């Protein structure tokens, strides 16, 4: 029993050390971490106006990938990209069907079953998809994916949807990146289950995924009769799935 306590204590110390090391890295690079001005959720662009800051953020992502428990994120976490999730944003004025079509036919287009090299922002859930971070309609990311960053705070990652063809060509080899904001709080960055359990919640406010795919649309069970949801389901079942038999969309319902 005493040895078990020592092992658990050591794991907790190591987990906290990852966040402290990230904080030290941020302090060491405080000129970049706190300035010059670098907007939250900015769109990636060419030429890069902040190359030094971008290099620093690459280092943050690299640090996370070297330290994270990838088995935990791969096996125990469900990742969902909610459609029309940000209340008040102009994108939320679309109907759910319009928002889905933007994913299916947008830039980049993300058809079910295809593997995307472009990093994507999701909300993460340990266990059931429930609680305050639930939206109404979302695409469920397959576990055939790679998690590249995780936080219980909003990471304010770069916006890469709807970017120019020039950027697609530039990032053709690696795919479009998503890097956290320079001033993210290291204490909110999660490396493993021990980090996550300290917060007492069942969700991650942001998880970025790479080399990912999807084939399932999840919908709140209590909204099945909502006119927008009826329209969405009808399109998926009677239009998309009949025409795109190689890219079938499954529909599942959840209780938030």
Mean pLDDT, all residues of the chain: 86
Query: DSSP code of 251?
Result: E
pLDDT at 146 over 70: yes
What mean pLDDT comes out for the span 3-18? 50
Q: Residue 36 has what pLDDT? A: 64
What mean pLDDT comes out for the span 105-132? 91
210 three-class SS: strand
Which residues on adjacent β-strands are paired with residue 124?
79, 204
188 three-class SS: helix
Cβ burial of 239 (10 Å; 0-12, 13-18, 19+) is exposed
Out of 8-12, 91-95, 216-220, the most confident range is 216-220
Q: How far is CA 165 from CA 1, 25, 168, 174, 243, in A?
A: 60, 34, 5, 15, 28
Look up the domain containing 31 and give its range: 2-254
Q: Decide if 157 contacts 121 (C-beta within 8 A).
A: yes
> Tokens 């110390």 sit at which residue?
13
Q: Decide if 152 contacts 190 (C-beta within 8 A).
A: yes
| From 27-36, 174-183, 230-239, the region with the lowest mean pLDDT | 27-36
Kindly indicate the confidence band of residue 162, based on its pLDDT and cuts at 50, 70 and 90.
low
pLDDT at 107 over 80: no
What mean pLDDT comes out for the span 10-28? 74
**Structural domain total, the chain:** 1
pTM (2 d.p.)? 0.86
35 three-class SS: coil
Q: How far is it, in rounded angstroms, from Cα 118 to Cα 253?
A: 27
pLDDT digits (tens, 9 = 90+) for 48-67: 888 888 888 899 999 999 99
| Helical pair 2-28 and 51-67, crossing angle rounded to 10 deg | 170
Tokens of 38: 């670098």
Which residues on adjacent β-strands are paired with residue 126?
77
Which residues on adjacent β-strands are paired with residue 219?
137, 253
């Amino acid at each position: 029993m005493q040895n078990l306590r020592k092992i658990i204590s050591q794991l907790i110390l190591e987990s906290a050390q990852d966040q402290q090391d990230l904080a030290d890295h941020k302090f060491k690079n405080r000129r970049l971490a706190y300035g010059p001005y670098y907007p939250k959720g900015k769109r990636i662009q060419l030429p890069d106006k902040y190359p030094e800051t971008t290099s620093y953020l690459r280092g943050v992502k690299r640090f996370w990938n070297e330290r994270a428990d990838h088995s935990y994120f791969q096996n125990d976490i469900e990742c969902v990209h909610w459609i029309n999730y940000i209340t008040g944003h102009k994108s939320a004025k679309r109907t759910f069907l319009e928002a889905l079509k933007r994913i299916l036919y947008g830039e980049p287009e993300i058809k079910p079953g295809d593997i995307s090299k472009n990093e994507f922002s999701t909300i993460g859930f340990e266990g059931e998809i429930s609680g305050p971070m639930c939206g109404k309609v979302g695409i469920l990311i397959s576990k055939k994916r790679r998690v590249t960053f995780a936080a219980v705070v909003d990471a304010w990652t770069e916006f890469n949807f709807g970017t120019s063809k020039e950027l697609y060509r530039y990032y053709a080899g690696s795919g479009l990146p998503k890097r956290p904001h320079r001033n993210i709080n290291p204490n909110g960055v999660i490396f493993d289950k021990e980090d996550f359990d300290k917060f007492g919640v069942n969700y991650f406010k942001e998880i970025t995924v790479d080399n990912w795919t999807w084939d399932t649309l999840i919908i709140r069970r209590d909204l099945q009769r909502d006119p927008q949801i009826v329209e969405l389901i009808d399109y998926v079942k009677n239009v998309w799935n009949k025409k795109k038999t190689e890219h079938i969309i499954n529909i599942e319902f959840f209780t938030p």
